[in-house]
Amino acid sequence: MTCRYLAYLAVLAALPLAAQTPAPATAKPKPAPAKYTPPKTPWGDPDLQGNWPGSVNIPLQRPASMGTRATLTEQEVAERDAASKKRVASGTWIEYYPASEQASLVVDPKDGRLPAMTPEADRRNKAVRGGLGPPTLSSVDDRADSWTDFDLWGRCITKGLVGSMLPGNLYNKGNRIVQSPGIVVIQNEMVHESRVVPLDGRPHPGKGVRMYMGDGRGKWRGNTLVVETTNFVKDIAMNGINFALLTEDLKITERFARIAPDKLSYDATIEDPGTWTRPWTMHVTYPLDPTYELYEYACHESNYGLADILKGARAEERKAAEGKK
């Protein structure tokens, strides 16, 4: 074995961020899609089963400069795609997803941006952690006093709903739908979630029952599966969407429809009157990918990073204290 320890000074170039260009040209109008009738399961429900990974690159919001323009030009798609390829090629561990012409996941409001928060929600969130606000992925840079300074994803608990459904978010974006008579199961690779949604019309449990992913109830409206989810835990943040703490009144209505043999249309309307001044809706079309393998992502047991970050913060405190002596 070689027994050398080498030391280097390294200079890393900051990754260039994708330029958000204003809209110079109009996108091509698309022909109206032909009406598609999805296959049926043996018991007669529309068949949505399969692996539908979020392998597409669409940002949550679009730049305000785009206004209500909902699609990118070919040049803008190429630029977004090139920026993504560059980041993957730089050696970081994100996966590559091709850019979509869809300008933003948010489709309502029409400007593709999240609506304003209510003044009360603003006050509520600013008061968290002594004024630092709710924990985010990077909030531990500001304070790492305890596990409460980590967001739920950093703690390997959940990305929540609809955070678990977001496409193109770093890695592990597998989604799988499995059906049986009266039940639909929606699996998310990140973070190892399986939502079991009954279709028999049973009511939600009482208000005392609260879950991180909420309680979903499904029904068919034609060929569209509509899932209404309530009973969320109070004061959770919606990872990847908004780190504001949400209220007990949060309600999410999702619509799943197979619009082609290999395309699943997904919409989610989010209502939380105590947080946002109006409901908002996101949309994405997932591609079918039978070759996509959903690997286990049981994340909590070996989440060494959490302890390492807390230990690192204590080490820096000691260093600072020694410097003052």
Partner 1 sequence: MNSTRLSAWIAVGGLLLAAAPAWAHHSFTAEFDRNKVVNIEGTIVKMEWVNPHAWIHVSVKNPDGTATVWMIEGNTPNGLLRRGFTKKSLEPGTEVMIKGYMAKSGDFKANGSSMTFKDGRKLFLGSSSGDEDPTAKDGK
212 or 243: whose CB is closer to partner 1?
Answer: 243
Instruction: Give 282-312 as a DSSP string.
Output: EEEEEEP-TT--------STT-HHHHHHHHH
Candidates 61, 73, 265, 269: give the one binding partner 1 (CB under 8 A). 61
Kindly give, in sequence order, each residue whose CB lies less than 8 Å from that of residue 150, ignoring residues fewer than 6 positions away: 135, 139, 140, 306, 309
Kindly give, in sequence order, each residue whose CB lies less than 8 Å from that of residue 156, ignoring residues fewer than 6 positions away: 191, 299, 300, 303, 306
Candidates 118, 242, 247, 275: give the one binding partner 1 (CB under 8 A). 242
**Residue 145 CB, nearest distance to partner 1 (Å)?**
12
43 or 295: whose CB is closer to partner 1?
Answer: 295
* Dihedral sign for Cα atoms in the order 208, 211, 212, 214: negative
Distance CA 255, CA 268 (A): 6
Contact flag: residue 91 with partner 1 (CB under 8 A): yes
Binding segment (CB under 8 A) for partner 1, from list 86-94, 177-185, 216-224, 272-280: 86-94
169 or 224: whose CB is closer to partner 1?
Answer: 169
How many residues bind partner 1 (CB under 8 A)? The answer is: 71
**Backbone dihedral angles phi then psi of residue 80, each to the nearest 5 degrees:** -65, -40
Distance CA 310, CA 282 (A): 35
**Residue 136 CB, nearest distance to partner 1 (Å)?**
7
Contact flag: residue 89 with partner 1 (CB under 8 A): no
Q: CB–CB of 47/179 below 8 Å?
A: yes
**Backbone dihedral angles phi then psi of residue 179, each to the nearest 5 degrees:** -120, 150
**Residue 84 CB, nearest distance to partner 1 (Å)?**
9
80 or 217: whose CB is closer to partner 1?
Answer: 80
Contact flag: residue 67 with partner 1 (CB under 8 A): no
Nearest to 249 by CA among 270, 268, 269, 267: 270
Interface mask toward partner 1 for 146-175; x: CB under 8 A? -------xx-x---------x-xxxxx---
177 or 282: whose CB is closer to partner 1?
Answer: 282
Contact flag: residue 299 with partner 1 (CB under 8 A): yes
Nearest to 210 by CA among 153, 268, 264, 160: 160
Candidates 14, 19, 32, 34: give the one binding partner 1 (CB under 8 A). 14
Candidates 66, 114, 213, 246: give the one binding partner 1 (CB under 8 A). 114
189 or 267: whose CB is closer to partner 1?
Answer: 189
**Backbone dihedral angles phi then psi of residue 176, each to the nearest 5 degrees:** -135, 140
54: Cα within 13 Å, side-chain hemisphere: 25
Per DSSP, the three-state class of 222 is coil
Candidates 28, 110, 234, 311: give the one binding partner 1 (CB under 8 A). 311
User: Which of positions 178-217 make contact with partner 1 (CB under 8 A)?
Assistant: 189
**Residue 133 CB, nearest distance to partner 1 (Å)?**
10
Contact flag: residue 127 with partner 1 (CB under 8 A): no
